[in-house]
Structure 1
Amino acid sequence: LQGVSLLYETEPVRDRTDPGAGWFLNGVVQLETDIAPHSLVAMLQEIERALGRDDDQRSGPRTMDLDILFYGARRIDEPGLTVPHPRLHQRRFVLMPLNELDPFWVHPTLNQSVDQLLADTKDQSQVNLLVPQPSTKYGSRPACRAQPES
């Protein structure tokens, strides 16, 4: 495990008019692994199913959605796996936590750093950083509150 971003609360991208559409929590982890890309995808999908993901719900609300954004500087375009993730540069909710971990990482296809991609994205959806609180009466697990983007 190389890094873990904070969590970000984000509005639904697809249907912002549906008052019942819940907001999402998003974050990014950075790993170093010897696991082959297709094996890693299979593991992530198994975790999603174990956490109750409905495979029929491709673009709607999901219990869990785990994606490979990058795999080093490799480019993969095969059935079931495209790396870098083909839409990450269009998604503020991905770019903000990714920027927190490594703003200078250069996208291997677009040749732009993460901070450049974030500055250039047309996605203006609301993304709120969940700020960990210093302590809680329930122990060491921090509580969080949404902090509007400044």
Structure 2
Amino acid sequence: MLSDVTVRPARPAEAEVLTELVMRSKAHWGYSEEFMERCRAELTIHADEVVPARMTVAEAAGRVVAVATLEGEPPEAELGSLFVDPDTIGKGVGRRLLQHMLELARGAGVRTVVLDADPNAEPFYEAMGFVRVGVVPSGSIPGRTLNRYAFDL
């Protein structure tokens, strides 16, 4: 467990740093360079998306180590992303940030949070109480599908 993790709203000026974190996190699972390039456009964070997506980061020792988004309006919102820097995976940062995002959703009047999970992240989301509710097409890879999960608040 990492101690002294701070959760705060992301800043538009951090878009490039956050994109690099997202790409490192995704690549951690052994995806090929070709796969990663095909995902780049979907995973790139633009400064003008930070505020509308309720983008939130976790910091440890002054460094951003995770990022998540909560998109949509009540009664249902989507955890559009949750990425943890590879050197902090398994240290409680993802759990802390996800719990924060669920509280943020609850405070906004959201009843259900949905997400499309990378297959490597499914055990984490299931352990956090998310339930598989369907299958959706990948936004980056034609023919690839992702499992959709939901969490009732």
In the superposition, the TM-score normalised over structure 1's length comes to: 0.30
In the superposition, the TM-score normalised over structure 2's length comes to: 0.30
Which protein has the bigger helix share? Answer: 2
Which protein has the bigger strand share? Answer: 2
User: Rg bigger for which structure?
Assistant: 1
